[in-house]
Structure 1
Amino acid sequence: MKVDKQLLNKYNVPVPRYTSYPPANHFTDDFKESDFKHLLVKSNEEHPHNIAFYIHIPFCAQICHYCGCNALKMGRAEEIKNYIAALKKEISLIISHINKDRKISQIHYGGGTPNAIKANYLKEINDILFEAFDVIDNAEIAIECNPAHLSYSYLDELFEAGFNRFSFGIQDFDECVLKDVNRKPSALPVGDLVRYVKTKNKGFAVNLDFIYGLPGQTAESFCKSIQQAIEIRPDRLVTFSYAHVPWFKEHQKILDAKGLPTADDKLDMFLSAYDLLLKAGYVSIGLDHYALPEDELCLALNKHQLHRNFQGYCTKRTTGQVYAVGVSSISQLSGGYAQNTKSVKEYVRLINENIIPVEKGVLVSNEQKIIRTVINELMCNKFIDWNIVAENLRTNVASIKKLIAYDQSLLEQFKEDGFIDYTEQSIGITELGTMFIRNIVASFDPALRTGNKRYSNSL
């Protein structure tokens, strides 16, 4: 795929990533524990009916300079033990409000580095959830792993704990790039790790995650990493655009001194990797994910049945309202979002006082739910049928278009630039338009036109 540099300059502007709506920087500290408890109870009567859990493990052996997550360097064994005890207690506090006839469709461990701690802790947490709720067929039980701290014996323990999807954070196979961003390479050959997982059970799946836009990367060097990944043949592969937000994560300033690639360089990395992956038989999912044709994500995309949350893309079959536990974790419920405190010390203290440690959040109005649906359909499925959306939301097309400030002149501009095809009834995003999908959906966000929030650039 080729992209005109003028289009890059025209659309490379700050816009939200839209992993939630409203975006996380709209959360306020006026949102209290009582608000969250109300949302928990209300969620039992809302859709999706399934349950998804997110568990945040913040500990890392070392902090990568590009990291935008809430992570901290590994502490004493006692500190980790106390944190896991608090996690278990928070789960008990939350599930006491959830109806037991609901089923788990997804569990996701993120961080930090979830595999930095003993695997028996992870099994204990999973066992609590499996004992409390039934699980749908082929539920997704996923964990993010840093392969620098991964062994075959540890993987065996993860299998025993019930995990069936593994995301290996490779970021880049070039050890010079990894050294510049303070990340160690995989302790074992990545291809051997993937084969080990796949031979244990045909139902197990592996993702390989990469980041482009780091110091020292070029389109040529990044493509070498992607080609190496293609030869390993993971089920899914992700190429994340590095989000440089030093005003939010001060340690990212270290990368300024090392020199970051230009926007043009990043585009070349993305496009070169994109072409390689499609040529190798992978299917483009959303903005930055790729999957093999037989993968459930691809099958769902063909039927316009993709969804996503803070943890990434999933299918509407495995979609659930997300109940998040752990420091800084964000629950994504139909009626609103709630984020926990970012301090481990404060988190443990509040949990021990039987207080759910909500730091901030936001309630989602009925109008915002409609906007969220429009944005999600386009971000995930690259297509929207206004009549179907109106029917699902029990409203009418005219009301939806009025709410999102539907502007045909903007659509005409997107069409002229080759991003979309549209009629009065539907919008379809083209292959080129996928590159600018955040810009397209931002045109349907009335809050963006009047707000003053800061975001990373779209490309």
Structure 2
Amino acid sequence: MQDALVERLSSPVPRYTSYPTAPHFNESIGSEVYADWLSGLTAANRLSLYAHIPYCDRLCWFCACHTKQTLRYEPVEAYLKGLYAEITAIGARVDRAAPVTALHFGGGSPTLLRPDDMRALKTCLETNFSFAGDAEISVEMDPNDLDDERHDALAGIGMTRASLGIQDFDPRVQKAINRIQTFEQTRGVVEAARARGVRSVNCDILYGLPFQTMETLAETVRAVISLAPDRIALFGYAHVPWMKKHQTMIDEAALPGILARFEQMRMAGEMLVAAGYEAVGIDHFALPADRLALAARNGTLRRNFQGYTDDQADALIGLGASAIGQLPQGYIQNMPATGEYLRRAEEGGLAAVRGYALTDEDRARAYVIERVMCDFGFSFADVTGRFPSFAGVIGGEAKVFAASDKDGLCRIEGDCFRLTLAGRPFARTVAAVFDAHLASGRGRHSVAV
């Protein structure tokens, strides 16, 4: 019965890091619209910045990020010039009194930047934006890139959270995904970051990888727990070779099936909870004192393009090629191709090429989907208070789904729509019930577990 349920509910659906999702963005929203949206931000708006470095010195075959491999540093230097131009252009359009409360460096591999360039990039950001004194600064780190000078530079730019991609420590799995990274390397990076005062460490683990077994995954989970990270993300490998051609390097015959993936997810989650971590949403775990765990407990957990977050900013500004931003008016995405991004950035500063302007119904559905993904349910009264024009329709959809649910995924509890414990692993599938755009068929997605 359980196996049949897992197979039936594992159909591909969005990850819901936004609503509507990126396949529904369109070219009618470009740089002119973006400029107007930026000008609408005021001193009362808290800002979050995402700076994208779309380069790696090796290409991991599992990766679904917008990135490219380079063994020369010249393309990175050229890219940074364009990034500086975009930062300057956006900073000129945003009220300088608006505080930046969070900054995330993502990639690609931000840690391949030379130490002087790390510092120069942070200086450019500080010159054009006003950072709050307690701003969170997180950096995605590749242990293979790091040395003492880079560790010192990261400490110098004020990094508060080190985020390490681990995926799996098993040598056979690492070879199959072209991600060679020893436990000793990883432990050294964690120790170096903590020695320099970094107060939070996040580690990413993947399940569903080629040649991964319950035993090898369990060994990886135990090794990660021994590092005592504050947060752990447990992601399912998204095999999307139609989007990322380098994933064709992965032998599909070596990938675990749907049932094996589900068991890997369940086992790893139980191990993390047994080790003292609290489950946060569908795929994150945090120590009880961590801000992410606190947000999950007090109902302020959010979800954006980086996944689960406690970031309460009013606007997320994406910087760099392919970066996506989220403003009160809607979503905006930069040109993904680095060469064209650089041309646009250096000519006019803004490189936005597509986006989505939210309707009031979109906002209502986005709120409900986010609450399903974060809280595993929502209050009808809360939705009515926020979105009175659409609460009846959305509430009706929830009640119809609950009444027809033969799998025990959810129930109506007084004023609330709630997922059951059995239904929580399928939160993406339940969230899709409230997605009015999904039926249009745009985009292909990864499996739901």
Structure 1 stretch 186-195 or stretch 137-146: which is displaced more? Answer: 186-195
Match of 1:312 in 2: 307
In the alignment, is the contact (CA less than 8 A) between 1:147 and 1:170 conserved in 2?
A: no
- Counterpart for residue 440 of structure 1: 430
Report the secondary structure of 2:40's partner residue.
helix
Q: How does 1:20-419 map to 2 (within 5 A)?
A: 20-44=18-42, 49-74=45-70, 76-186=72-182, 188-201=184-197, 204-257=199-252, 259-317=254-312, 319-391=313-385, 393=386, 395-396=387-388, 399-403=390-394, 406-414=397-405, 416-419=406-409
TM-score (norm 2): 0.94
Contact between 2:380 and 2:395, CA under 8 Å: does it hold in 1?
A: no
* Number of the residue aligned with 1:5: 3
Q: How many residues align?
A: 449
Residues 404-413 or 438-447, more deviating: 404-413
Letter in 2 for 1:95: G
Distance in 1 (CA, whole Å) between partners of 2:141 and 2:440 is 40
Runs of 4+ in 1 over 4 A off after TM superposition: none
1:453 and 2:447 matched: no
Letter of the aligned partner of 2:338 in structure 1?
V
Distance 1:413 1:152 in 2: 59
* Range moving further from structure 2, 360-369 or 429-438: 429-438
Q: Tell me the C-alpha RMSD between the 2 structures.
A: 2.0
Cα 1:128–1:187 shift into 2, 3 Å: farther
Q: CA deviation at 1:450?
A: 4.2
| Cα displacement string for residues 255-313 of structure 1 (whole angstroms, at most 9, x for unaligned residues) | 13552111111111101101100111101111111000110111111111101211122
The amino acid across from 1:400 in the alignment is A
- Mean CA deviation greater in 437-446 or 416-425: 416-425
Distance 2:305 2:114 in 1: 25
% identity of equivalent residues: 31
Q: Bigger shift: 277-286 or 176-185?
A: 176-185
In structure 1, runs of 5+ residues without a counterpart are: none
Instruction: Give secondary structure in 2 for the equivalent of 1:272.
Output: helix
Aligned-partner SS, 2:390: helix
1:449, distance to aligned residue in structure 2 (A): 3.3
Shift in Å, 1:424 = 5.0
Give secondary structure in 2 for the equivalent of 1:431: coil
CA distance in 2, matches of 1:152, 1:388: 50
Contact 1:246 1:253 in 2 (8 A): yes
Residue aligning to 1:15? 13
Residue 413 (structure 1) shift: 4.3
Rounded Cα–Cα distance in structure 1 between residues aligned with 2:346 and 2:64: 28
Please tell me whether the aligned partners of residues 146 and 186 of structure 1 are also in contact (alpha carbons under 8 angstroms): no
- Report the alpha carbon displacement of residue 220 of structure 1 after superposing the two structures with TM: 1.5
Unaligned runs of 5+ in 2: none
CA contact (8 A) 2:231 2:285 kept: yes
Deviations 1:362-411, CA, capped at 9 Å, x for gaps:
111121011111111121122312222332x2x32x73231576142311
Are the structure 2 counterparts of residues 109 and 404 from structure 1 closer, same or farther at C-alpha, using a change threshold of 3 Å?
Answer: farther
SS of 1:275's equivalent in the other structure is: helix
Question: Could you tell me how far apart the structure 1 residues matched to 2:366 and 2:426 are?
Answer: 18
Whole-Å Cα distance in 2 between the matches of residues 189 and 132 of structure 1?
36
The separation in 1 between residues aligned to 2:221 and 2:314, in whole angstroms, is 32
Q: What is the distance in 2 between the residues matched to 1:278 and 1:52?
A: 30
Give 3-state SS (helix, strand or coil) of 1:446's partner.
coil
Counterpart-to-counterpart distance in 2, 1:404 and 1:387 = 10
Contact 2:115 2:149 in 1 (8 A): no
Q: Which stretch shows the higher mean deviation, 191-200 or 364-373?
A: 191-200
Equivalent pair of 1:404/1:444 in contact (CA under 8 Å): no
Q: 1:195 to 1:378 in 2, by over 3 A?
A: same
Query: Does structure 2 retain, via aligned residues, the 8 Å contact 1:197–1:205?
Result: no
1:355 shift after superposition: 4.4
d(CA) in 2 for partners of 1:302 and 1:187?
Answer: 32
Aligned mates of 1:229, 1:446 — CA distance in 2 = 39
Q: Which one-letter code corresponds to 1:10 in the other structure?
A: R
Seen in structure 2, the aligned counterparts of structure 1 residues 361 and 273 have a Cα distance that, compared at 3 Å, is same
**CA–CA separation in structure 2 for the residues paired with 1:135 and 1:264:** 46
Following the alignment from structure 1 to structure 2, what is the Cα–Cα distance between the partners of residues 99 and 382?
A: 36
What code does the residue aligned with 2:145 have?
A: H
- The letter of the residue matching 1:92 is T
Q: Is contact 1:210-1:240 (8 Å) kept? A: yes
SS of 1:342's partner is coil
Q: Is the 8 A contact 1:148 1:186 kept in 2?
A: no
